[in-house]
């Protein structure tokens, strides 16, 4: 049987976990805001330089050449930005996942301890029911581990696809810029 102290301790631990997760989420948001401010500043500077260069072009040919030279750096900056956003998001996700996995592990251990205690204190003749409960708990733990592994594999595949897409986009832009020249 759970005591009031155990329940209060569990609630305190859950609140600490909640606040820890919230802190990690806000750190990720802060990083994104900082990145977006840097990109906005850089974009304004680039726009000003581009406007000055466009206004100083002597003819249409020079203006077209200027446009072609700006395409590749813009695509590379967009690719770098998306990589940074992805890095921030995946880093925050990794930290949150680590915290959640440790808490899930602790919860599983606590639950197994409660089940074991209940089985030890069960009346005689309930051994079959106790074995069934233990078997169900073990099956649930195995299912949770399988889902966790599958989610990690899916995340790795998504990350590899994102990196490949990003690299291909930059290469395509570089090739398009070279053919325009």
Is the pLDDT reported for residue 171 higher than 60?
yes
Q: What is the pLDDT of residues 122-165, one digit of tens each?
A: 777 777 877 787 788 788 878 877 877 887 788 788 778 777 77
**Tokens read off for 13:** 């631990």
The pTM of this model reads: 0.63
H-helix or E-strand containing 27?
A: helix 4-55
pLDDT confidence of 20, banded at 50, 70, 90?
Answer: confident
Point out the least confidently predicted range of 4-18, 39-53, 58-72, 161-175: 161-175
Q: Which two tokens stand for residue 110?
A: 């606590």
Alpha-carbon torsion (100, 104, 107, 109), positive or negative:
negative
Q: Would you say residue 181 has pLDDT above 60?
A: no
- pLDDT at residue 2 in the model: 61
Integer Cα distance of 62 and 72 in angstroms:
17
Which pLDDT score, from 0 to 100, does residue 42 have? 92
Tens digits of per-residue pLDDT, 29-45?
A: 999 999 999 999 999 99
Quote the longest CA-to-CA distance of the chain: 98
CA dist., res. 88 & res. 136, Å (int): 39
In the prediction, which pLDDT does 41 show? 95
How many alpha carbons fall within 13 Å on the CB side of residue 100?
Answer: 12
pLDDT in tens, 53-105: 888 888 888 888 888 777 778 888 888 898 899 889 989 988 888 888 888 77
- Which parts of 56-126 fold into alpha helices (H)? 60-120
Given a cut of 90, whether residue 174 has pLDDT beyond it is no
């Amino acid at each position: 049987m759970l005591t009031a102290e155990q329940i209060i301790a569990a609630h305190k631990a859950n609140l600490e976990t909640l606040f820890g997760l919230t802190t990690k989420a806000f750190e990720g948001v802060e990083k994104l805001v900082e990145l977006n401010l840097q990109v906005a500043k850089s974009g304004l500077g680039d726009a000003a330089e581009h406007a000055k260069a466009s206004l100083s072009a002597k003819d249409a040919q020079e203006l077209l050449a200027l446009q072609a030279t700006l395409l590749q750096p813009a695509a590379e900056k967009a690719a770098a930005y998306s990589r940074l956003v992805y890095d921030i998001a995946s880093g925050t996700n990794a930290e949150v996942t680590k915290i959640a996995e440790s808490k899930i592990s602790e919860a599983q251990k606590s639950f197994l301890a409660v089940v074991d205690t209940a089985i030890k204190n069960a009346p005689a003749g309930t051994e079959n029911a106790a074995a069934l409960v233990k078997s169900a708990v073990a099956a649930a733990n195995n299912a949770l581990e399988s889902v966790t592994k599958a989610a990690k594999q899916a995340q790795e595949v998504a990350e590899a696809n994102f990196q490949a897409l990003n690299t291909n986009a930059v290469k395509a832009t570089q090739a398009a810029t070279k053919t325009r020249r």
